[in-house]
Amino acid sequence: MELLAQQLITGIATGGIYACMALAVVMIYQAIHHLNFAQGEMAMFSTFIAWQMLAWGVPYWLVIPLTVALSFVGGVAIERLVIRPLGDAPVLSHIVVFIGLFAIINSLAGFIWDFTIKPFPSPFGEGSQFGGLISNHQIGMIAVTMAVLVMLFLFFQYTRVGLAMRAAAENPASARLVGIRVGWMIALGWGMASAIGAIAGILIAPIVFLEPNMMLSILLYGFAGAVLGGLTSPTGAVFGGFMVGIIENLAGTYIPEIGGELKLPIALFLIVTVLVFKPTGLFGRTVVQRV
């Protein structure tokens, strides 16, 4: 029983990482209706910026807002400079551009900060609660994820910009007619996704250590979480992220043949199974097609 509780909590804690990433994935998906394969690399780059600032001796409470702000600007810049010129090229061309971005950012980070693994301090300090059951960092991670989710909800529900962004995503033509600058709303979506990615990166780095390839499997889990919850629902994405974390941990513990190596395949297998029965995810809206 204690093992189960332990594993559940660990699952929820790692799920927090995936939830963060899934949230960022859904943000961009809402804005542009593409899956951004470079999302993880963008988050990794942001985390390296944070690491660099810490190495220069900037205090932690200043590093986080600075990194988030820089990432926001970076996300907007990528949209304006790289994605915008593509226009309405076919979906697959977009995917190739994302793959290109992935390669560029990964290679650049390796070039600047090299490929050695770097430790990253937790913003919540060391130590643990409830007799070592859960570390401070894990608690902090879950709390931050939930806080980001609530803030996003409030932003989209109660601010004019949030409303404009939803309108631009829902119906670009009509949104333009009522005076919303759809292009900038998309850029804003990229910026926000990039900022959320930065938060996710900073939260993840103390656990998986910092190196240019750290985000690869995490992005996969993030995608998995986003799809599980439904790509159209931020709440669903967070829920999906937590679910993936829990499933992964329980499967790794209770199915003996699986062990460490096969955690990822099991998680992905479950997701494909869910998709087959519920093709738009657990919380997704079904899109009805007009003939």
Partner 1 sequence: MSVNTTTTDGSQAATGSAGSVKAVSLPKPAAASSNAKIMRTAGIVLLIMGLAAPFMAGNFLIFQLTMMLIYGIAILGLNILTGINGQFSLGHGAFYAVGAYTAAIMMDQFGVGYLWTLPVAGIICFIVGFLFGLPALRLEGVYLALATFALAVVTPQLFKLSPFEHWTSGVMGIVISKPEAPFGLPLNPDQWLYFLTLAIGLLAYVCARNLVASRTGRALMAIRDNPIAAGSMGVNTALFKSLAFGVSALYTGVAGALGAIVVQYISPDSFTFTLSVALVVGLVVGGVGWLPGALFGGAFIMFVPNIAEELSKGLSGAVYGAIMILMMYAIPTGLGGLLKAALTALSKRSKTR
280 counts as binding partner 1 under rule CB under 8 A = yes
Residues 142-181: x/- map of binding to partner 1 (CB under 8 A)? ----------------------------------------
| 218 binds partner 1, rule: CB under 8 A | no
Q: Closest Cα partner for 13 from 136, 194, 95, 166? A: 136
**Binding of residue 196 to partner 1 (CB under 8 A):** no
Could you tell me if 238 and 228 are in contact, meaning their C-beta atoms sit under 8 angstroms apart? Answer: no
Candidate residues 92, 173, 177, 178; the one interacting with partner 1 per rule CB under 8 A? 92
Which amino acid type is present at position 13?
A
Q: With binding defined as CB under 8 A, does residue 27 bind partner 1?
A: no
Stretch that binds partner 1, among 57-65, 128-136, 194-202, 221-229 (CB under 8 A): 221-229
Task: Spell out the long-range contacts of 50-53 with Cβ–Cβ below 8 A and sequence spacing 24 or more.
Answer: 50/198, 50/201, 50/202, 50/205, 51/113, 51/118, 51/120, 51/205, 51/210, 52/113
Q: Are 130 and 10 within 8 A, CB to CB? A: no
282 binds partner 1 (CB under 8 A): no
Least distance from partner 1 to the Cβ atom of residue 125, Å = 35
How far apart CA 72 and CA 155 sit, in angstroms, is 16
Contact 187, 169 (CB under 8 A): no
Site string for partner 1, 253-272 (x = CB under 8 A): ----x---xx-xx--xx-xx
Q: Which is nearer to partner 1, 58 or 262 (CB)?
A: 262
